[in-house]
Structure 1
Amino acid sequence: MELAFVEDCIPGTGVYLRHGYIYSSLAGYPCCSLIGQVTSINPRFAKVHILYVGSTPLKDRFRGTIRKEDVRATEKDKVETYKSFRPGDIVLAKVISLGDVQSNYLLTTAENELGVVVAHSEAGAQMVPISWCEMQCPRTHTKEFRKVARVQPEYLQA
């Protein structure tokens, strides 16, 4: 299956190059990470406004939902949505399926590399990750729970 033109993407595992195109050598679907902003939360899910797919900004509004069971890979029954996200947080997530008319895309943060990448404290400062489940305000030193993403080098800007 032809996936992309070689100038648009970098080939990885499970693909091969032929005549300037990247082809899949495995069955499945292409998977992209996306960046979104949490707009609201409740005990069952977090609503997200999708801002970027990969590094491409979106011109139209797309919405997604991160269900409680899709927040992390382990101990799913112990997840508390309000301890994972807050409105305004910027998250790195993946699309797991096209949802229904109300939720649009179903998203997941159930990988170590996915979760909150930017959060602001009540004091207005950008918080610093201190563990996989906490961030701290540099001004007040207040700690808040989050599902923190372990950001990979390709997402860091110099």
Structure 2
Amino acid sequence: MSLPHLAYPGLPLGPSSLYIPGPGTHLHTASSTIHASLAGQPILTTPPSKDSKPTISIPRLLPSPTHTPVLSEKVSNVNTLPSVGSVVLGRVTRVRGRGVEVGIAVVYPVGVDWGALAGEGGTVGGGQEGGCVCADEWAAVIRKEDVRATEKEKVVTAEGFRVGDVVRGVVISLGDQSNYYLSTARNELGVIMAKSEAGHTMHPISWNEFRDPVTGLTEGRKVAKPF
């Protein structure tokens, strides 16, 4: 199987039966699957012998001297600045009553064609290939009134987001000196990856629920519509 051009924290990269987890990745023991721990471009290191398995790793920024040099426009030492209209991927760092704090990790160009990026076989987090990984996370906030387009007064942030969720949002304002303002008030925006309280990666079953495939229990989220 081929590796994605760009990975974000929590993205499955391959089974442990075929690969060895390296720096920037971790092994999910329940599913025996290697997941990304960092945002960046995965690198496959050839094993020293035929009896060994190749190693998957993700450099923190650019490939280090211990890796085979790889030139990539996706990973750079220069921080990519989000602008109004940019679609971003980020990780929820804190949930408050009036809003959700997010660390932006990947920025896409304004007007990105999600259908073209995701293709016919797109996934819940489809379209990573068009984005640029930020050298450092940008602080952002999803305000309560920007979570969804309807019944805004009934929104409870803790029912739509949890710390650690990976979120797809759009920048609606450059905000203040501390945070960008994001919105998830479109069908394709919201949580694209979440783990259950039991620690299992869940899959979406509706616009506001994820299900744990191991326990069968459901948890509420503001779900991004899968491509």
Give TM-score scaled by structure 1 length. 0.75
Residue type of the alignment partner of 1:39: T
2:131 pairs with 1:77 = no
Counterpart residue number, 1:59 = 135
2:205 pairs with 1:130 = yes
2:117 pairs with 1:41 = no
Among 176, 179, 191, which residue is 1:100 paired with? 176
SS at match of 2:161: coil
**CA distance in 2 between partners of 1:56 and 1:74 (Å):** 31
Among 12, 31, 40, which residue is 2:85 paired with? 31
- Say how many residue pairs are matched: 123
Moved over 6 A (4+): none
SS at match of 2:206: coil
CA RMSD after TM alignment: 1.2
Deviations 1:55-108 (CA, angstroms, capped at 9, x unpaired): 110002311000000000001001000011000000000000011123x10000
Contact 2:142 2:182 (C-alpha < 8 Å) held by counterparts: yes
Among 137, 142, 145, which residue is 2:217 paired with? 142
**CA distance in 1 between partners of 2:205 and 2:85 (Å):** 29
**CA distance in 1 between partners of 2:137 and 2:191 (Å):** 20
SS at match of 2:158: helix
Offset of residue 122 of structure 1:
1.4
Offset of residue 30 of structure 1:
6.4
As a proportion of its length, which structure holds more strand? Answer: 1
Give TM-score scaled by structure 2 length. 0.53
**Percentage of identical aligned residues:** 50
Counterpart residue number, 1:112 = 187
Give structure 1 stretches of 5+ with no counterpart.
1-28, 153-158
SS at match of 1:130: strand
**CA distance in 2 between partners of 1:109 and 1:70 (Å):** 6
Counterpart residue number, 1:89 = 165
Contact 1:114 1:151 (C-alpha < 8 Å) held by counterparts: no
Residue type of the alignment partner of 1:31: G
Deviations 1:2-50 (CA, angstroms, capped at 9, x unpaired): xxxxxxxxxxxxxxxxxxxxxxxxxxx8622100000000111000000
